[in-house]
Structure 1
Amino acid sequence: MNVELAAHPLTLVRARENWSLADLARLLQREAAREDLRSGIDRNRIWKWENRRAEPCAEHQLLLARLLGVPETDVLLLAWPWWLPAHSNVYSFDPDGSRAALREATTTRMDRRSFLVLAGSALSAGAAQWATTEPGRLHSALDGQQVDPELLSWLETTATELQHKANANGPVVQDLLEALLRTMIGLISEARYDQETGRRLHLTTAQVAQSLGWLRFDAARHGAAQRLWQGALHAAHQAGDRDLGAGILSDLAYACTWLGYPKDAVDILGHARSRTTAPAARSLLDLRRARALAVLHDRSGVDRALLSANAELERTAPGSAPGWVSWMSQADLSADAGRCWLDLGDQRRATDAIESGLTQLDPTRGRTRTVFLTYQSECDLRNKDVGAAADHARQALDMAINTKATRCLDLATTLINRFDKRPEAPAVELRDYARHRLAA
């Protein structure tokens, strides 16, 4: 069974338990017999469940839940297939739950690229809990030594320096960031500190985990990225920083849209926006909401979200944006609005907006430029300008290779694959160029 390509949580459950389709059918038949029921479940029916050809009826779901030890309340609350125990835990937003989430953020697991480790409904439920749970007072009498003020200042300075370096050279500093994160989590779990020191510890931990999550996301290690962002969300909550928490939720939502879960992204962004007042933050949340709604082909929703994103960006005073969204600019708004128009089939508006975004974009933001270049190349293809499309695809490939970000390289090579059957000279030249660049 190729678990890496599995697209259904039930497949993961079977892989974890080492059950074949026939094994699971036999176990469910036995479970039904214990209750004097005739299940009618065979391997073909389970195959249909996993391939989304059919959903199990309520009776069959309860049989499966009893076999797996899942409470009936979870089945009713989360619905099929998200109640299946195939995903990471959602922890409560209290000190103990937050420490557990942070410990899980640094665990090593097989990271699957085709779906999220946490189910979409679980992510949304976690976002809702974050939005409605007020941070409690940090425990100040944990076992261990007192946190030295000079050590804490050094950790904060080091974290800031590494985060800045990660933007330009992520693969080089990611091991250092991970070591720093483990140190911070160790202090949170074992050291003694007063409330203000605890707040600073949690805040720095959240920022480091958020940055490291983006490096994992860029490397297409989506499960690891999600665990880091979940840990970061808990740490930001314990620090009482609602704006940073909203930013971390927006990262989770961005990943949902990227991986094909736009409805979940819309839900998460709604919870995030409810607890932030910074105009720059609201602008980014609205823009990411527009992107998810465009995938869902909700034109009126896109219009409203983009209008709000633009208004909030105009309200942003220079230097007033929270650190996690300080990069937000008109370039981002223009290019991602263009992507929305592209998804909605409005090539003219898409072309103008994406070109404007690329022109205004800070040249040091290589990963973002790669993404925007793929947008522009797709616009060119839809406008039947193969020469321009090939040129922009070539630029995207070069930029992706320079960034060393797997996510960007996947995006560029997927785009170039669309030129495979095109006979035009620019397409042929692009294919040859890509083969040489990727073989180097």
Structure 2
Amino acid sequence: MAGNGEFGEPDSGTGTGAGDKRPNALLESWFLRSGWSKGELARQVNRRARQLGAVHISTDTSRVRRWLDGEQPREPIPRLLSELFSERFGCAVSVEDLGLRSLHQSPSTAGVDLPWTAPQTVALMSEFSRSDLMLARRGFLGGSLALTAGPGLVEPMQRWLQPMHGEPLTTVEQSTSSRRTGHRLSRPELELLESTTVMFRKWDAQCGGGLRRKAVVGQLHEVTDLLQEPQTEDTGRRLFRVAAELAELAGWMSYDVGLQPTAQKYFVLALHAAKEADDKPLGSYVLSNMARQMIHLGRPDDALELIHLAQYGSRHASTPRTQAMLYAMEARSYANLGQAGKCKRAVRMAEDTFAEANESTDSDAPDPDWITFFSEAELYAENGHSFRDLAYAAGRNVTYAGLAEPAIGRAVELFGRDLEHHRSYALNLIGLATVHLLKREPERGAAAASEAIGIAKKVRSERLNTRLRKTVDSAVREYGDVTEVIELGNELATRLPEAAQTPA
């Protein structure tokens, strides 16, 4: 047993004999570009392991040297390294990208290429939510997951478009009927479940993903139990819709608190459940959140493919509001790819389609609750951030920053009147701060960021905190001699100190 390495790991590594080892050139490349020393990487791994509850992990510089020399560490080390390098470079860095191997995973922690059948969708949602509830100490489950990107993500999601086939849900019913009561949901009970999902969504908007995540996961697990009871066809479809909305919300909350692999798995399960519910607009909404996550992880090409898949799959079923949201996310994808013409076209389509949504009459199909978040404020926010992202992609182009400012400013104004969307208000204040920094207006940028700090203290959102810290750090690096920026850095350190957070 190694005295100074991971607890329980032999010095020779996992499945790699001393004579067979070759230097890990991929890991060494990422390591050298990171700027970390061996000691700093070891400390980062140990710190992340403690946050995940893996207190047995104890890594040092000699162990890091062995990894670079070709030793294959045991789980959860490869996952921890994947997460650390992904955060360092702002893009998805998989275990394989690091030249490391993943051990066999259970179905609940495997990748995203899952069977598209009702019984297996229910079983996987049940297993994954149960594991999350048991192991969610700072996302310990996330330590056994890996982010999927590129064709490995997009190609399995394309099966969402294929007609449903395979085993019916009655297979689950029959296999569990001997040990279940056979209780069928009444209409009032079903409506109560649906209204509870609406309530959870409001809580997320008000308080951030960190406050009610476990409650949402627990509710999802309960719904998967109900899906294993004999239900009528209509009730089963509505239950799958509830499960899809809860899984999407669990994914969104996981994304908000920084549990990226966990978020992606919930989004994939939500898409499967939406397919079983035969709800294409809901499926397109799930895909849009997967795209948003890919933009966050520096994969706008994947995001664009996911958005186009969402648009194609729901083109005859979505309301104008949903279509406008998809156009806005398409614009964000093009912006991050630096494709200005296509970005501007998508922005115009989002605006025109949203105007059509506002002109809808009572006789038109009503919007589902999950898309009501896409308000006028949200439209301005998305389009403004598209121009802001385009400014960065074009080398800090001041012209695009000038296009972004009035749109994000309008979003800030509208969200400032809203008593429910505190996180969105703060995120747009940060967006406005970045625009002012692009325009070389550090005093105005510091004022917007300072206001965001006050809101961030009231909201449990690691995504918000991370963006705020990055914006302030950027301001300090560029304008560290400006009084307002100096004061902003001090305010951030005092009012929002960096600390490990435990998602609920």
TM-score bracket relative to the smaller structure:
0.7 to 0.9
From 168, 183, 205, give the equivalent of 1:146: 183
Cα pair 1:163 1:211 within 8 Å, conserved = yes
Deviations 1:132-156 (A, max 9, x none): 2337784244323132315434333
For the pair 1:377 / 2:433, whether they are aligned, the reply is: yes
The whole-number CA distance in structure 2 between the counterparts of 1:350 and 1:203 is 36
The whole-number CA distance in structure 2 between the counterparts of 1:266 and 1:20 is 44
Structure-2 residue corresponding to 1:7: none
SS in 2 for 1:148: coil
Shift of 1:349: 0.9
For the pair 1:233 / 2:271, whether they are aligned, the reply is: yes
Cα pair 1:341 1:350 within 8 Å, conserved = yes
The whole-number CA distance in structure 2 between the counterparts of 1:47 and 1:162 is 41
Cα pair 1:250 1:272 within 8 Å, conserved = yes
Q: TM-score, normalised to structure 1's length? A: 0.78
Structure-2 residue corresponding to 1:173: 212
Structure-2 residue corresponding to 1:324: 370
One-letter amino acid matched to 2:23: R
One-letter amino acid matched to 2:118: P
Change (3 A) 1:52 1:425: closer
Structure-1 residue corresponding to 2:120: 97
For the pair 1:252 / 2:297, whether they are aligned, the reply is: no
Q: Identify which range, 211-220 or 338-347, moves more after superposition.
A: 338-347
From 392, 405, 408, give the equivalent of 1:354: 408
The whole-number CA distance in structure 1 between the counterparts of 2:269 and 2:447 is 41
Structure-2 residue corresponding to 1:398: 454
For the pair 1:88 / 2:111, whether they are aligned, the reply is: yes
Let me know the Cα RMSD of the aligned residues: 3.3
Shift of 1:160: 3.0
One-letter amino acid matched to 1:429: E
Shift of 1:44: 4.7
Deviations 1:263-282 (A, max 9, x none): 11111111111122321111
Structure-1 residue corresponding to 2:308: 270
Change (3 A) 1:135 1:238: farther
Q: TM-score, normalised to structure 2's length? A: 0.69
Deviations 1:99-158 (A, max 9, x none): 244135413364669x96223322211321112233778424432313231543433333
Cα pair 2:456 2:464 within 8 Å, conserved = yes
The whole-number CA distance in structure 2 between the counterparts of 1:135 and 1:82 is 38
Change (3 A) 1:244 1:202: same
Change (3 A) 1:154 1:325: closer
Structure-1 residue corresponding to 2:222: 183
The whole-number CA distance in structure 1 between the counterparts of 2:184 and 2:302 is 40
From 374, 377, 382, give the equivalent of 1:336: 382
Cα pair 2:183 2:230 within 8 Å, conserved = yes
Shift of 1:176: 2.5
The whole-number CA distance in structure 2 between the counterparts of 1:382 and 1:103 is 46
Structure-2 residue corresponding to 1:5: none
Shift of 1:297: 0.5
Question: Residues 11-160 of structure 1: matches in 2 within 5 Å?
Answer: 42-47=22-27, 86=102, 88-106=111-129, 107-108=131-132, 110=140, 117-134=147-164, 138-140=168-170, 141-142=173-174, 143=177, 144=180, 145-149=182-186, 150-160=188-198
The whole-number CA distance in structure 2 between the counterparts of 1:228 and 1:439 is 30
For the pair 1:365 / 2:421, whether they are aligned, the reply is: yes
One-letter amino acid matched to 1:382: L
Cα pair 1:22 1:42 within 8 Å, conserved = no
Change (3 A) 1:310 1:359: same
The whole-number CA distance in structure 2 between the counterparts of 1:21 and 1:326 is 56
Shift of 1:360: 2.6
SS in 1 for 2:475: coil
Change (3 A) 1:439 1:169: closer
Structure-1 residue corresponding to 2:350: 309
One-letter amino acid matched to 2:338: H
Cα pair 1:101 1:230 within 8 Å, conserved = no
SS in 2 for 1:217: helix
Deviations 1:279-322 (A, max 9, x none): 11111111111112111101122122112212211221267323
Cα pair 2:117 2:167 within 8 Å, conserved = no
One-letter amino acid matched to 1:372: N
Structure-1 residue corresponding to 2:280: 242
Q: Identify which range, 102-111 or 120-129, moves more after superposition.
A: 102-111
Unaligned runs of 5+ in 2: 1-5, 34-95, 103-109, 133-138, 391-396, 499-504
For the pair 1:211 / 2:252, whether they are aligned, the reply is: no
From 469, 472, 488, give the equivalent of 1:430: 488
Shift of 1:388: 0.8
Change (3 A) 1:21 1:318: farther
Shift of 1:244: 0.5
Cα pair 1:94 1:136 within 8 Å, conserved = yes
SS in 2 for 1:245: helix
Cα pair 1:104 1:227 within 8 Å, conserved = no
Cα pair 1:338 1:350 within 8 Å, conserved = yes
One-letter amino acid matched to 2:226: L
Cα pair 1:139 1:195 within 8 Å, conserved = no
Change (3 A) 1:212 1:325: same
Cα pair 1:135 1:237 within 8 Å, conserved = no
Structure of higher RCO (CA pairs closer than 8 Å, 6+ residues apart): 2
Deviations 1:349-397 (A, max 9, x none): 1112211222233522111122211111111112222211100011122
Shift of 1:211: 1.7
